[in-house]
Structure 1
Amino acid sequence: MLKLNQDKTELIIFTPKHLKASVPNLQLKVGNTVISSVSCVKNLGLYFDQHLTMERQVSAIVKSCHFHISYIGLIRSFITTDACKTLVNCLATSRLDYGNILLYGINKTTMNILQKVQNTAARLITRTRKHEHITPILAGLHWLHVQYRPQYKILIYVYCAWNGIGPAYIP
């Protein structure tokens, strides 16, 4: 029997921004529990807002990455470049990659916010100044720009599905 956790159960209705006013504040009754709709939910560590702009998810990524990058920056002068790269990959860029396939197609302004985080991480590793061009630095680290990372992941899934080498749930 499925038991409903009243503290964690949420209801969200996804709508385009221009239809927000036409959708009433809905409530769903399951047994004796009334579930009200919310504007943002969290599932598997990812935030989904009612308009699927992913702005809340991006701000959570930025907050977490900046936290870790700033602490790595405090010890940067005491560690090697390889150690710094390992720390940044483990603590910051892994957060940029987790669930990034959901960021495919978001607006460029939101994606640029994530790009600034990646640029900061690359500059920390290479000890590059802010005014220097970032593209050669990213190429030297073998990092794709943030906007291309979801596309790369999608193409990997397509390749695996096409060649029959993916998991069983991808036909």
Structure 2
Amino acid sequence: MALDDEMVDFHPTPIVGFYTLTSCTVAHTDIQGNYPHYPLPAFKLAWFGVHNEYQGTPMRVGEELLVEALLQSWELFTHTQLGVALVVDPLTQKSEDFFRKYDFQEIGRSFHGQETLYLPMRKIRQMIEADLLLGAEEKFGSRTKAERWFDTPDSLFGDLSPRKMIDVVGGVGILEDAIYES
């Protein structure tokens, strides 16, 4: 979501979460499957973070961001037929555990002491077909994330009321007191 200067000047709001998708390659030997013997195109969840105050809350910002990133990866794959997997380099054990809950698997190399993980596109397709990803939207109804947040009691947000928040941002951002992923 892009904000113009006027909106930022008159409505300053904190970023509660963000992610960035980019392209990368993986060696055919790094992932399971019968692939050609050359580097394979993949998508990378290059930045992924949730503000400390919103981690582990009933809002499930991290889960919603991940679902959105998985759906975006699948959409890119269906349009381009490129990208055998979604790759992530978790920075902490906590973030590695988070991604493993969603069936991310080890590639067999590490990044800053944590395992590089991937989720094959076929697994993302299976999750979509089984309504495991889209079910998150159904669970919350057809309202936007921002509309849901405005209905959330202020007590869940501490000093940051929902009226001061923006919708989950897909993209790179600067966020104080956040744990940055990959």
Q: Taking structure 1 as the reference length, what is the TM-score of the superposition?
A: 0.28
**Rg: which structure is higher?**
1
Judging by fraction of residues, say which structure has more helix.
Answer: 1
Judging by fraction of residues, say which structure has more strand.
Answer: 2
